[in-house]
């Protein structure tokens, strides 16, 4: 079955991203397909390349990146939510005249239409949030 995943909270502050990750991983390991993982609200922070958690803790960002790489996941960060919160990819940084970008490997920034499209194309939409 084809799933769409929506992550509405940032890493560490709330368990939503952890739960979404465990669900996504279990779905993939059981032969299901993930059409897209969409990061919205503070969920965009899951894509910050500059995250440095303590060594004895999980690294939520690289964990998503690794899962994305392994299964070729489409991991999309909402551009409007990201810009508000200081998350930029290289192109956006240039366009907005900012001196740095911070999107981690495997994530891409795009519009909210990608969430709606995920709802249309997926057979189930799972929401993880606060």
Q: What is the largest CA-CA distance in the chain?
A: 44
Q: Which is nearer to other proteins, 54 or 113 (CB)?
A: 113
86 Cβ neighbours under 8 A, 6+ residues apart: 102
| DSSP 8-class letter at 103 | B
Catalytic residue among 7, 75, 78, 79: 78
Query: Does the annotation mark 24 as catalytic?
Result: no
Q: Which is nearer to other proteins, 92 or 117 (CB)?
A: 117
Q: For tokens 């390991």, name the residue.
A: 29
Binding site for other proteins (CB under 8 A): 1, 3-4, 6, 8, 15-16, 19, 22-23, 25-27, 29-30, 32, 40-41, 80-81, 111-113, 115-117, 119-120, 124-130
Nearest partner of 32 among 128, 127, 124, judged by Cα? 124
- Name the residues annotated as catalytic: 78
């Amino acid at each position: 079955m084809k799933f769409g995943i929506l992550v509405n909270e940032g890493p560490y502050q709330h368990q939503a991203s952890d739960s979404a990750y465990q669900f996504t991983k279990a779905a993939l390991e059981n032969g299901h397909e993930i059409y897209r993982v969409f990061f919205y609200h503070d969920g965009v922070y899951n894509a910050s390349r500059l995250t440095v958690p303590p060594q004895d803790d999980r690294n939520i960002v690289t964990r998503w990146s690794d899962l994305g790489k392994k299964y070729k996941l489409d991991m999309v960060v909402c551009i409007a939510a990201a810009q508000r919160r200081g998350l930029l990819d290289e192109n956006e940084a240039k366009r907005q005249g900012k001196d740095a970008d911070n999107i981690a490997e495997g994530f891409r920034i795009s519009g909210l239409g990608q969430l709606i499209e995920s709802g249309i194309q997926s057979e189930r939409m799972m929401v993880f949030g606060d």
